[in-house]
Structure 1
């Protein structure tokens, strides 16, 4: 029997291999030397998302098999710290996309999600009736306090976040390292969103870019990932390269991605019970029809004789 989605191995990162389909299944071929090629078979039905690093080549037959097994494929940078494109299977359910759109479309529910993001990020209560402008002010105060604390810990004096792409090489090492590390984090979050089926463009705090939701979710983890890395490199000669390398080493990618998925599910469906064994996907037995009053209706039914129609 094929593994259930709930039993999936989640994310698999591959690099420096050629992925092909043979008579047995999908396999990764590793060229050891001129006379030897090692072959490792990939359990496609037990994996939710395959991340293809820059050293990977893959055949169309292998991609088709991954699609049939409901496996998302994301083209990434080294260590999966950048996400360039995603290939989603036709069978991927729109459940979480619908949850995202439903919460995003109404100003009240959108503000509610933004408020929960703040609570999840800073573990602090938000007064009832707080507006989005006030929420931004609270977030700014907390970030200034965090910058001040990290600066004191590393003995670098006052720090001010400064990002000017046109003056990139004139920035101090901490700002350079932070920008590079944040880019890595955005790639990880982007890959997780694609695997889940959400839209990276529909953000709850950020807007106006195809990566708005990526920035929203990435902000949840910066205080524990990119910020400590950046401040630790305040005296580095090459802060950008060192930040990317240190981020990859410290990230433990296979543990962060499932956490991102779980946090997104909690944000979009706060009243639902959290199942520790639940998959990042949501199984749907059949495609359903939408009705504004009755809710979801079964598909594959002829409603010509429906007395209400």
Structure 2
């Protein structure tokens, strides 16, 4: 997977290229790339969309470093077996519980308590999350009255809740991009259910207390004038420096593998996708993660 920014994406002489403001063309090997993230500052032609669809490369329109996901194109080479695999795990209560237990283990660094249902594990998780919020508030010297926010009224929340909401929104953006790029359905969740992004919430919750939520408390402690902007920029930098997207797809596969049924094989002609360092792709407005 690669990120592209600051340029016109087009097809020139049959090649998929990024053309920067100076006219320099950077060739993108679209046929060997699973997913292209289009960051702000990009324009894409009809010919480029057609070629990406033909070779089965997913195009996703995101904010900087994936802090928002605005839209995703349909990958022309998508197969249904990964969706069916995910659905089978979610619909079988025993398999679902195995996946939820794995999520618990990865999130808290210990095995989930035995003989607990999904609902009971959800309750244990909620209690630990509330304790973690209190601990972070104490660590950063922030007054904490609980996780209180109104999605329809941004100003109703206090600064720390605004910062947390902004941070998790950024994390959900890059996580949804990873779920789509891996060929799974954002709506088919295991802990969370009944929401368009249930699986996104499941995966994001595993990693959110590693960096983005502590950063939200750190920023809230400064009482910024524009908390959502500061958090968004901080998350952008975290995603780039930690290469979070490169971690998320293997994490998704690890979680689903806990269901102990055979995952769908890759296409017979699939090649490993290298995720290069940013500097390795040149300076023509081409960014990778």
Q: Shorter chain as normaliser: what TM range?
A: 0.7 to 0.9
- Offset at 1:254? 7.6
8 Å contact from structure 2 (residues 7, 43) kept in 1 = yes
User: Which protein has greater RCO, CA pairs closer than 8 Å, 6+ apart?
Assistant: 2
In structure 2, the gaps of 5 or more residues are 270-289
Q: Does 1:14 align with 2:4?
A: yes
Q: In the alignment, which of 135, 139, 145 is matched to residue 149 of structure 1?
A: 135
Tell me how far 1:64 sits from its aligned partner: 2.4
Q: Aligned match of 1:41 in 27, 48, 68?
A: 27
- Over residues 29-82 of structure 1, what are the superposed CA-to-partner deviations in whole Å (9 max), with x where a residue is unaligned? 1113xxxx2221112133211011232211222122223333111112233211
- SS, match of residue 174 in structure 2: helix
The structure that has the greater radius of gyration is 1
Task: Give the root-mean-square deviation of aligned CA atoms.
Answer: 2.2
Q: 1:273/1:123 Cα in 2 relative to 1: closer, same or farther (>3 Å)?
A: farther
Greater alpha carbon shift after TM alignment, 22-31 vs 247-256 = 247-256
Q: Runs of 5+ in structure 1 lacking a partner?
A: 1-10, 275-280, 287-309
Q: Give the equivalent residue in structure 2 for 1:237.
A: 225
Of residues 58, 61, 69, the one that matches 1:75 is 61
1:201 pairs with 187, 204, 208, which one?
187
Matched, 1:23 2:16: no
User: Displacement, 1:273?
Assistant: 10
Deviates more, 1:81-90 or 1:16-25: 81-90
Are 1:147 and 1:159, in contact at CA under 8 Å, matched by a contact in 2? no
In the TM superposition, residue 132 of structure 1 has moved relative to its aligned partner by: 2.0
1:89-100 equivalence runs, <5 A:
89-100=75-86
Deviations 1:149-182 (A, max 9, x none): 2112112243411121244213221110110111
**Of 267, 277, 284, which residue of structure 2 is paired with 1:284?**
267
TM-score (norm 1): 0.80
Specify the SS of the correspondent of 1:149. helix
DSSP 3-state at the match of 2:36: strand
1:84 paired to 2:84:
no
How many residues are treated as equivalent by the alignment? Answer: 266
Aligned to 1:118: 104
Secondary structure of 1:74's partner? strand
Moved more, 59-68 or 15-24: 59-68
Q: Report 1:143-292 matches (<5 A).
A: 143-234=129-220, 235-252=223-240, 255-270=243-258, 271=260, 282-285=265-268
